[in-house]
Structure 1
Amino acid sequence: MFSIEPMPGNPWPHDMVIRVDDDLQSLLELLWVREAWQLHPIGDDLPPALVDTPIAVAPAMRRSAPTSEWEAVWPRVWEEVLEHAGTTPRPDIFERLQATPNGSPDRARLLRELVGPSWREEVGGEAFTDEAEQWMQAQFEQRVRPSSAGLEAQPERLSLEALIQAWKCGLTTVVQIPCRGTFTRRIGPHAILVTVGTRADPERYTEALRIFC
């Protein structure tokens, strides 16, 4: 939401731009791997379970997979992916990508900076089954399903006062994960992490935004 000039009667500041990332593939893949493979990673600040529980991988597949190794590495990869999710890409990164040749070290470095770490890059693609793609697709269809609610019913509009205050404190990005309950974290100088349930509830969303200042 952004307008070049102030709009009389519109409470949304004309120069306030807020990005909502609710489909970060790297985060969704990590969450799917943890639950589909029934991993039980240990960590001080790990996210709650998914709202839509994936189909568990067959026991025979689990027995033949290095699940103990995956459990051990999961918290570290989660932390790295979440840290990147809280960063803001440099404004010129796409321009610089276009100026670098395919296959060059500079292009690889810029792509890494843009995309960030992932489970596939850190561990490999062995964990991903056909069910992973089906779950991801179902999540996508749920997110893009048309809603009868108008603009004023959007979460950012319903918690606008708190959002404006957070923006004044530097907030530019809201990262949403499809997990249960409340799991609100400030994940960088300009980003906050919330669950889908928190963002859908004006009272909880307002409370979450207030932690930013």
Structure 2
Amino acid sequence: MNSTSGLARICATESISLGRVLFSIGLSEPVESSMEGETMRSNDSIAGNPWPHDMVISIEEHDHALLRLLFVRDAWGLSPNGAPAVSGAIDVGASSRPNIVDLGDADARWRLEWRANWQRFDEHDRAVHALTGAKLRRLDAVSDEELIEKYSRMPSRYWDQGVDDRAFARWRDEQLKRSEQRRQLPLTEHPERRSLSALISAWECGLTNIVQLPYKGYFADRISRHCLVVSEAARFDAVLYGRALSAPPPETPPTGR
């Protein structure tokens, strides 16, 4: 999954795609569709629409890799590893940590992949740089399959064993169904409209990405100038969402972070 796949876009017309559930809030027509839904966009500025015509916010509501890691953490009985607990008990089905997997090693691997997954939402240098001779030689020594495994597949195959895929699918489907139900709400009751003033202020301070996760209770973390992480409970409570959006962005990290 690359840094843009699975991301939702909320445009001036308030065309919304949440995670992989893609839909519009009634001000645009679909311009593309797939088995995963429809993408609707419009570049028109509509009189009386309070949404700034040039404001684009990406919302990820059902990120597969992050949800998979949260599921595995519960299924294998791993440590919290710095991430909040999820809301409610997860039915992990027949999932269990394989006997051959050391608990300490699994915790360390989980923390490593959890941090790596967040890099997709982080700020980084997107410029194209020429490869040095040493880097080219290292790349030549690695097979295409190894490169895909290391840089493209998240989470890694390490988590394929000992996980009940049907149980994970049921847990993720529960969240997708809640999103589907909320699609039926009137436009004025959608979280971004109810907290539009705070959202605009956050956008003016650089916010472009919002990642929602099924954390327990209130959670909000502006992990960078461009990205805010919120719990589902926080996003769907107007007061809590306004508080989350009003949090100032962190200071610019030092060079070499």
Structure 1 counterpart of 2:155: 119
| Alignment counterpart, residue 162 of structure 1, candidates 198, 202, 215 | 198
Shift of 1:67: 5.0
Say yes or no: does 1:2 pair with 2:12.
Answer: yes
- SS in structure 1 at match of 2:65: helix
Tell me if the contact between 2:216 and 2:233 (Cα under 8 Å) persists in the aligned partners: yes
| Alignment counterpart, residue 16 of structure 1, candidates 55, 72, 91 | 55
Shift of 1:63: 6.2
Structure 2 counterpart of 1:26: 65
Unaligned runs of 5+ in 2: 1-10, 14-42, 127-142, 250-257
Give, as a single letter, the amino acid of the residue that structure 2 aligns with 1:12: W
**Alpha-carbon distance in structure 2 between the residues aligned to 1:146 and 1:165:** 25
Tell me if the contact between 1:39 and 1:70 (Cα under 8 Å) persists in the aligned partners: yes
Tell me the matched-pair count: 189
Say yes or no: does 1:185 pair with 2:195.
Answer: no
**Alpha-carbon distance in structure 2 between the residues aligned to 1:189 and 1:204:** 20
- SS in structure 2 at match of 1:119: coil
**Alpha-carbon distance in structure 1 between the residues aligned to 2:44 and 2:203:** 18
RMSD (CA atoms)? 2.9
Tell me if the contact between 2:207 and 2:226 (Cα under 8 Å) persists in the aligned partners: yes
User: Which 4+ stretches in 1 moved above 6 angstroms?
Assistant: none
**Alpha-carbon distance in structure 2 between the residues aligned to 1:199 and 1:41:** 23
Structure 1 counterpart of 2:188: 152
Change (3 A) 1:120 1:128: farther
Give, as a single letter, the amino acid of the residue that structure 2 aligns with 1:40: S
* Bigger share in helix: 1
TM-score, structure 2 normalization: 0.64
Shift of 1:11: 1.2
Residues 38-63 of structure 1: CA deviation (Å, up to 9, x unaligned)? 21144xxx22221242124659x446
Change (3 A) 1:41 1:25: same
Change (3 A) 1:148 1:172: same
Shift of 1:151: 0.9
Give, as a single letter, the amino acid of the residue that structure 2 aligns with 1:198: A
Structure 1 residues 50-59 or 193-202, which shifts more?
50-59
Instruction: Give the percent of matched residue pairs that are identical in Structure 1 and Structure 2.
Output: 32
